[in-house]
Amino acid sequence: MKPYDTFDCAVLQNRELAPGFFDLTVSCLQAAQTARAGQFAQLMVPGKTLRRPISICEIDRNQGTLRFVFGVRGGGTLQLSRLKAGDQVNLLAPLGNGFNLGDTSRRVLLAGGGIGVPPLLEAAKPFGKRAVLTAGFRSRDAVILKEDFEKLGCGVRIATDDGSFGHHGLVTDLVEDIPFDVVFACGPKPMLRAVAALAHRRGVPCFVSMEERMACGIGACLGCAIQLQGENGPYYGHVCKDGPVFPAETIVWEE
Amino acid sequence: MKPYDTFDCAVLQNRELAPGFFDLTVSCLQAAQTARAGQFAQLMVPGKTLRRPISICEIDRNQGTLRFVFGVRGGGTLQLSRLKAGDQVNLLAPLGNGFNLGDTSRRVLLAGGGIGVPPLLEAAKPFGKRAVLTAGFRSRDAVILKEDFEKLGCGVRIATDDGSFGHHGLVTDLVEDIPFDVVFACGPKPMLRAVAALAHRRGVPCFVSMEERMACGIGACLGCAIQLQGENGPYYGHVCKDGPVFPAETIVWEE
Amino acid sequence: MAELEVQIAGVSFKNPLIAASGTFGFGHEFQAFYPLSTLGGISCKGLTLEERPGNPPPRIAETPGGMLNSVGLQNPGVEHFIREDLPWLKRQGTGVIANIAGNTPEDYCAMAERLSEEPVDMIELNISCPNVKQGGAAFGTSCESAASITSAVRRHCKKPLMVKLSPNVADIGGIAAAVEDAGADAISMINTLTGMRIDIRTRRPILKNNTGGLSGPALLPVALRMVWQASSRVKIPIVGLGGISTWQDVVEMLLAGASAVQIGTVLFSDPYAPVKMLKGLETYLEENHVGSAAELTGRVRSW
Amino acid sequence: MAELEVQIAGVSFKNPLIAASGTFGFGHEFQAFYPLSTLGGISCKGLTLEERPGNPPPRIAETPGGMLNSVGLQNPGVEHFIREDLPWLKRQGTGVIANIAGNTPEDYCAMAERLSEEPVDMIELNISCPNVKQGGAAFGTSCESAASITSAVRRHCKKPLMVKLSPNVADIGGIAAAVEDAGADAISMINTLTGMRIDIRTRRPILKNNTGGLSGPALLPVALRMVWQASSRVKIPIVGLGGISTWQDVVEMLLAGASAVQIGTVLFSDPYAPVKMLKGLETYLEENHVGSAAELTGRVRSW
Ligand SMILES: Cc1cc2nc3c(=O)[nH]c(=O)nc-3n(C[C@H](O)[C@H](O)[C@H](O)COP(=O)(O)OP(=O)(O)OC[C@H]3O[C@@H](n4cnc5c(N)ncnc54)[C@H](O)[C@@H]3O)c2cc1C
Ligand SMILES: Cc1cc2nc3c(=O)[nH]c(=O)nc-3n(C[C@H](O)[C@H](O)[C@H](O)COP(=O)(O)OP(=O)(O)OC[C@H]3O[C@@H](n4cnc5c(N)ncnc54)[C@H](O)[C@@H]3O)c2cc1C
Ligand SMILES: Cc1cc2nc3c(=O)[nH]c(=O)nc-3n(C[C@H](O)[C@H](O)[C@H](O)COP(=O)(O)O)c2cc1C
Ligand SMILES: Cc1cc2nc3c(=O)[nH]c(=O)nc-3n(C[C@H](O)[C@H](O)[C@H](O)COP(=O)(O)O)c2cc1C
Ligand code: FES
Ligand code: FES
């Protein structure tokens, strides 16, 4: 079995979850068998030189489908947002290392910021009630996937930047009284950094999913560099191959 | 009223007339009011730097529609061939001078070669029975629009390169015994040249529709040069603005 | 409302969008779409001293994200322009830039002198056209020749003088500095990169001229880089062009160091592009609380 | 069946498709898609004498029809390559080209000498990388420096030597001729054009390095023109690259004067592109009754 491959996939559904956020399900039998939580796919956008990296939000092995949730940022995601059921989209998948879920009897804190929330959904599945999602969004409008986590039995706490929903403030504000044994986090860098610091203070392992601009997505072009803490000092690893999920302590937060 | 403009047009129909030849009808109320036989439109192809010039094959003023018939040659026409009813296509139209139909009580010879046949259809309309189409195609497979001309009452004579339909040979072979007062021709350059020579021998005016690679389509970029016979010797005119229809005697057939 | 007016070498343009030479003719064809006063200015089709027939066709080839042209400066000559086009153009309420090219320095100087008597707002010196002296190499590809033609024309030119640079060079910053030293009042950049396409059926170059000038979106990153490099070497204003096709590209070009932009190839696919750009630029300025387009010039914070 | 094998400077490649340096790593990642023996050869990621960390991110920006990279030659150093990658690569049944870059002529020479002892098929001299001596200007942008580095390396190199040219020059033909005279056995061209993009939200260059190298389809017409120009100036074979993304582009490049091609950026959107190109090329040769790929080289009939 190839570790990753390109696939022409039928779009089964694409709907606007919240203004500017899309929920795309494609049929991809092979990748659905091997994909793991936290991995990503590179989606081809006709006319664009580069594919777009999007995290896998859900994997349905039985149906052979992958779900992606993405926000419209620029021309590429705009084009992806226009995909309709019955269209084709080409995927390069599954890519990256994904979350090492480890012992799923542990209590997990899932910390997500905005469009960083989707990859946490598949990771939440084996934990169910033992998972708490703390998620931050811009505003009430931008809250996504809340019900999806609730359906899995996870605790869900929401913060918004403008206070229009849930807590008015930061994701990290929500964590104070939550007990957990491991953290999986995805979101903007400052948030990840704060979550990592918090986990560090509690002495709990923390894994963060990072972003970087990509070309190949498979480790060949060395485009998606990220500064990591090595034995002999900092060095450039690569998000697509060494990540996107890294132990928080290996990240060099400031260059 | 603007002489030409860009229009977002709904595709009403696009079907394969013959292998590799497509028949596209779009709704374009405004351009349909002003367009004349022999004019053309520049069709936008998403992702391509340049529009594609395609002759207007039929104009329906009442329905407000334009019909185009085109062959797939490269990437642009391939993309246009995939348009489906309900899609949008952007047109810059109507462009060029068109056929000056003049006195429609004259007997007209319409001489067409392959994908040069479509623009002759609209020109045939006011002549009806007084028009004879002599058209050459590669083979039986590539014969298009025969019935359309017949429906107008035109005489129709077909030649094919391989003899698989009609006369085995050239368009000019078909003309011998046809009486006519004026010629409108569109097709490959060698054919046009031969038709022009034939008309010249008979002392009959001949108008030919020419092709050249285009950028602007409106006479601004000077891209679509064609060598013409001027009072002070040959000069470069422009197919999009001075043509695409030229009196045959103004064309410099060899450079 | 944000201020869109910009000043280039003492000439004010009501907004920073100027039609690029050779893509807009003398403006006649585009008035079908909108009044020419919509634009900050028009750089007219390149003029030569005498009428020029231009190159044989085909003159146009498409490329990925761009196109090639080998029009070869077909134009009716400077006198015809002054007589037939300029009076009409002057009435359109937009800035008029005369773009000139020559076979010899003498040609350039004669044209500059002649046009200095006429109501053009600015003269743009195209030193990147082929078919000029010096064994076929363009004036624009060495610092020495660029400087010498600029200073020669400078002496004959009473109008603000803008020199248009070629991108087919190793050190654009050096050339920009050389033409500034030689007396240019402004720089416009970039002209086309030289390219080629071959028809694999006929195995002949698509262009009868074999090679042509690459324009269109493909060029944008090269143009941005060159404007950025040049703007750190000169004090005179730069008019940026090359592949601009969206309002975002306009903003990028201004940030890179341009005081105004020229719009070319995009006009062929969307003649209304400048209207959309103007709107986008205005909205950007307002949303970002920038008082004027001019404030964007050179405001990229490089790493 | 048409013959696909081509000879470049005495090295035979089973077909004219070679992976371009920096886009294919050392091949490991692409064997997931197809055996590396599918390719005529692989030009490995650029090597330096010592390990190099590369430039800080972001290193990638998209452009219309292309992309910019500022990877900055991140690589594990030549010794690591010889130890860890080369033995494996040699077993893959494809041509292996070592691509080298240096900060100084001495670096280049030392690497060429070291690699001459190893089973690489060819050495590709990248003289178009930034961050080299001479005040930041690359060796590749003047005839003199290109010739001097080539002849220096030539003296230390026992393998066929291919010199990779930069397109950021005014006279590519002159540089090609200079490196031929200096002892190059082949030329590969073109490397990337320098470009820039700016994020209009942050008003910062997208690349942390400010500028980067433009690759991808946008580059194709420039590459074709340069290969065509260079091929009329040199007798040594040319490996053509820059923006090739379809089999038609491969044919164009061969017709323009290339004896083989390298495939780069297209691999990022379609890793299977070389497989498709191979098939398209074969069909083209057969349909046109051309006996071998080599017969296409330089067969454009220019006007
Ligand atoms: C491993 C990984 C997983 C991701 N998962 C998701 C997800 O699940 N949902 C989601 O909405 N977004 C996700 N992103 C971000 C997403 O890739 C970008 O929003 C998207 O590429 C923007 O493309 P665009 O054409 O709309 O924007 P443009 O700005 O037009 O894109 C231009 C170029 O920059 C790149 N780019 C722009 N922003 C980013 C970014 N933030 N990260 C990486 N590349 C960028 C694009 O890929 C493209 O190459 C992920 C990114 C990475 C690296
Ligand atoms: C005034 C005019 C009217 C035309 N009417 C028709 C018509 O009714 N039906 C029809 O099938 N074709 C017509 N053509 C030809 C048609 O424009 C080309 O077949 C089409 O542009 C090819 O585009 P492509 O992307 O498929 O080919 P590509 O080869 O990929 O195109 C590359 C570039 O070359 C140009 N080009 C290629 N071939 C031609 C050509 N023969 N003429 C002009 N430009 C070309 C394209 O427009 C494009 O800019 C007409 C051409 C002109 C000038
Ligand atoms: C068809 C065509 C004709 C051109 N003619 C001229 C010209 O006469 N003088 C000139 O200085 N530049 C000329 N140019 C170059 C443009 O002014 C401009 O520098 C170039 O096209 C890059 O900008 P763009 O990508 O926005 O088109 C021409 C470009 C095109 C496409
Ligand atoms: C990410 C990336 C890294 C590159 N690294 C190198 C390199 O190390 N050495 C080199 O000679 N060229 C390097 N190049 C240039 C390519 O080999 C090639 O010359 C260029 O990309 C043009 O070809 P393309 O358009 O097919 O990609 C690199 C290109 C890219 C996109
Ligand atoms: S994107 Fe190419 S190495 Fe990560
Ligand atoms: S296409 Fe521009 S002048 Fe005809």
Give Cβ neighbours of residue D140 (< 8 Å, ≥ 6 apart): D127, D128, D146, D164, D165, D166, D168, D169, D175, D191
Residue C141 pLDDT:
83
Residue D136 pLDDT:
39
Which of B22, B23, B44, B52 has the most ligand 2 atoms within 8 A of CB, as the residue to mutate?
A: B52
Is a pLDDT exceeding 70 seen at residue D137? no
- The candidate with the shortest Cα–Cα distance to D112, out of D147, D157, D155, is D157
Are A115 and A92 in contact by the 8 Å Cβ rule? The answer is: no
Q: Which residues of B touch C206 (CB under 8 A)?
A: 213
Structure tokens at C20: 């690029």
Residue B81 CA to ligand 6 centre (angstroms): 24
> What's the average model confidence in pLDDT over D256-272?
98
B204 lines ligand 6 (CB under 6 A): no
Residue D135 pLDDT:
36
Residue C131 pLDDT:
43
Are C193 and C214 in contact by the 8 Å Cβ rule? The answer is: yes
Phi and psi of B139, rounded to 5°? -160, 175
Give the distance from residue A72's alpha carbon to the nearest chain D alpha carbon, in angstroms: 15
Give the distance from residue B175's alpha carbon to the nearest chain A alpha carbon, in angstroms: 48
Are C119 and C86 in contact by the 8 Å Cβ rule? The answer is: yes
Q: Which residues of C touch D228 (CB under 8 A)?
A: 196, 210-211
User: Cα(B76)–Cα(B22) distance, rounded to whole angstroms?
Assistant: 13
Residue B141 CA to ligand 2 centre (angstroms): 21
* Residue A255 pLDDT grade (very low, low, confident, very high; cuts 50, 70, 90): low
Instruction: Please tell me what DSSP assigns to residue B161.
Output: T
A54 lines ligand 1 (CB under 6 A): yes
User: Cα(A26)–Cα(D134) distance, rounded to whole angstroms?
Assistant: 53
Q: What is the largest CA-CA distance in chain D?
A: 56
ipTM: 0.96
CATH of domain C6-296: 3.20.20.70
A46 touches chain B (CB under 8 A): yes
Ligand 4 nearest atom to the CA of residue D190, by list position: 19
Residue pLDDT, tens place only, B11-55: 999 999 999 999 999 999 999 999 999 999 999 999 999 999 999
Inspect the interface and report whether the beta carbons of B213 and C59 lie closer than 8 Å: yes
Residue nearest (by alpha carbon) to ligand 2 atom 27: B74
Residue of A nearest to D31 (CA): A2
Higher pLDDT, B214 or D129: B214
What percent of chain A is predicted at pLDDT more than 90?
A: 96
Residue D133 pLDDT:
43
Consecutive H or E run containing D140: none
* Residue D130 pLDDT grade (very low, low, confident, very high; cuts 50, 70, 90): low
User: Cα(B92)–Cα(B23) distance, rounded to whole angstroms?
Assistant: 18
Is a pLDDT exceeding 70 seen at residue D34? yes
Inspect the interface and report whether the beta carbons of D61 and A235 lie closer than 8 Å: no
B226 lines ligand 6 (CB under 6 A): no
- The string over D156-177, giving b where at least 16 C-beta atoms fall within 10 Å of a residue's C-beta and e elsewhere, is bbebbbbbbbbbbbbbbbebbb
Residue D58, preceding peptide bond in cis (omega within 30° of 0): yes
Q: Which residues of B touch A46 (CB under 8 A)?
A: 47
Beta-strand (E) ranges in C260-299?
Answer: 260-263
User: Cα(A24)–Cα(A85) distance, rounded to whole angstroms?
Assistant: 9
User: Cα(D235)–Cα(D220) distance, rounded to whole angstroms?
Assistant: 23
pLDDT tens digits in sequence order for chain B, 255 residues long = 799 999 999 999 999 999 999 999 999 999 999 999 999 999 999 999 999 999 999 999 999 999 999 999 999 999 999 999 999 999 999 999 999 999 999 999 999 999 999 999 999 999 999 999 999 999 999 999 999 999 999 999 999 999 999 999 999 999 988 999 999 999 999 999 999 999 999 999 999 999 999 999 999 999 999 999 999 899 999 999 999 999 999 999 985
* Residue A254 pLDDT grade (very low, low, confident, very high; cuts 50, 70, 90): confident
Residue pLDDT, tens place only, C264-284: 999 999 999 999 999 999 999
B46 touches chain A (CB under 8 A): yes
Give the distance from residue A112's alpha carbon to the nearest chain B alpha carbon, in angstroms: 36
Are B253 and B213 in contact by the 8 Å Cβ rule? The answer is: no
Interface test mutation site (partner B, options C60, C199, C208, C245, max chain B beta carbons within 10 A): C60
Task: List domains and CATH numbers for chain B.
Answer: 5-95 (2.40.30.10), 108-209 (3.40.50.80), 212-255 (2.10.240)
Is a pLDDT exceeding 50 seen at residue A199? yes
Sheet holding D193-196, edge to edge: D60-63, D66-69, D211-215, D193-196
User: Cα(C56)–Cα(D218) distance, rounded to whole angstroms?
Assistant: 26
Residue D33 CA to ligand 5 centre (angstroms): 16
Residue D103 pLDDT:
85
B47 touches chain A (CB under 8 A): yes
Are C100 and C123 in contact by the 8 Å Cβ rule? The answer is: yes
Residue A170 pLDDT:
93
Cβ count near D34 (within 10 Å): 14
Residue of D nearest to A95 (CA): D29
Inspect the interface and report whether the beta carbons of D59 and A222 lie closer than 8 Å: yes
Residue of A nearest to B48 (CA): A47
With H, G, I as helix, E, B as strand and everything else as coil, classify residue C217: helix
Ligand 3 nearest atom to the CA of residue C69, by list position: 1
User: Could you tell me which residues are beta bridge partners of residue B93?
Assistant: B5
pLDDT along chain C (303 residues), means of 10: 95 98 97 97 96 95 98 95 97 97 92 97 87 53 91 96 94 96 97 97 97 97 98 98 98 98 98 98 98 98 96
User: Cα(C134)–Cα(D70) distance, rounded to whole angstroms?
Assistant: 37
Residue B126, preceding peptide bond in cis (omega within 30° of 0): no
Residue C69 pLDDT:
97
Residue of C nearest to B3 (CA): C32
Sheet holding B108-113, edge to edge: B167-168, B155-160, B131-137, B108-113, B182-186, B206-209, B245-247
A74 touches chain B (CB under 8 A): no
Instruction: Please tell me what DSSP assigns to residue C301.
Output: -
Consecutive H or E run containing A181: none
Q: Which residues of C touch B50 (CB under 8 A)?
A: 60, 62, 67, 268-269
Are A248 and A207 in contact by the 8 Å Cβ rule? The answer is: yes
Residue of C nearest to D217 (CA): C64
Query: Given its phi and psi angles, is residue A131 left (phi above 0), alpha (psi -120 to 50 degrees) or beta?
Result: beta
Inspect the interface and report whether the beta carbons of B50 and C67 lie closer than 8 Å: yes
Instruction: Provide the annotated active-site residues of C.
Output: 129
- The candidate with the shortest Cα–Cα distance to D170, out of D120, D222, D130, is D222
Is a pLDDT exceeding 50 seen at residue D131? no
Measured N-to-C along each axis, helices D220-231 and D172-181 cross at an angle, to the nearest 10 degrees, of 50
Residue pLDDT, tens place only, A94-136: 999 999 999 999 999 999 999 999 999 999 999 999 999 999 9
C250 touches chain D (CB under 8 A): no
Cβ count near B85 (within 10 Å): 12
Residue C273 CA to ligand 2 centre (angstroms): 23
Residue pLDDT, tens place only, D196-211: 999 999 999 999 999 9
User: Cα(A102)–Cα(A110) distance, rounded to whole angstroms?
Assistant: 14
Residue D23 CA to ligand 5 centre (angstroms): 9
Give the distance from residue D183's alpha carbon to the nearest chain A alpha carbon, in angstroms: 31
Neighbours of chain A (3+ CB pairs under 8 A): B, D
User: Cα(C303)–Cα(D206) distance, rounded to whole angstroms?
Assistant: 9
